[in-house]
Amino acid sequence: MGVITDNLDLWVQVVLGTLLLFAAGGALALVLGTIVGAMRVSPIPVARVIGTLYVNTIRNTPLTLVFFAFSFALPPLLGLRLTEPVSITLAICALGVYTATYVAETIRSGVNTVPVGQAEAARALGLTFGQVMGSVVLPQAFRSVIPPMMSVFIALLKNTTVAAGFSVVNLGSIRNYLSERGENQFVVILWVMVIFIVLVLLLSWLQRSLENRWRVAR
């Protein structure tokens, strides 16, 4: 426990950094992924092409390369200096843009579980595509994809450690800091594993709670 208690200030900082990357990156991924998922099933050919191109390009690119693009290629184009707030913002964008592809595919699979007749009935009532998706299809799709969606967010949580290689403080970077303080690196890694296990268990509990709640709502 000395590794924790003797360096509590640093542990708090890195845990909060990880939670910030996870929460902000997850929110961005959910919004962007929902839009792209809707584009993937859109009746408009151009929207489908753009959605497919985005998913196939980003999803097949290693996350590290996405981070390189946001951290080193984008700042010169925008005239940005890599200060700490800018680095955190770019890391959030990289995580969100990358994870959005998996969110989009998960939502698309959920949309495919909704009976076609419901969408056709909604269109027969005069609803637009956006109204059909927002009021009829997506609410049912989200309920059916809770387990795979939570798996996507668990992967996002673990992917936050990649940001450690780009000067963003999180659980993935604490080993270097505590190594400079003379702490046993193996013990530090074990504690990082324990924290991630606790966080994943909390997400699993949230998944079960949402499944039970929405199963009753049906």
Per-residue pLDDT reduced to its tens digit, 152-187: 999 999 999 999 888 888 988 888 777 777 777 888
Determine phi and psi for 6, rounding to 5 degrees.
Answer: -75, -15
Q: What is the pTM of this model?
A: 0.86
Question: Tens digits of per-residue pLDDT, 87-141?
Answer: 899 999 999 999 999 999 998 888 777 777 777 777 777 777 777 777 777 777 7
Closest listed residue to residue 192, CA positions, set 26, 10, 15: 15
Summary mean pLDDT of the chain: 86
Between helix 84-111 and helix 45-59 the angle, nearest 10°, is: 120
Give me the pLDDT at residue 215, please: 62
What the chain holds in terms of domains, given with CATH numbers, is 2-217 (1.10.3720.10)
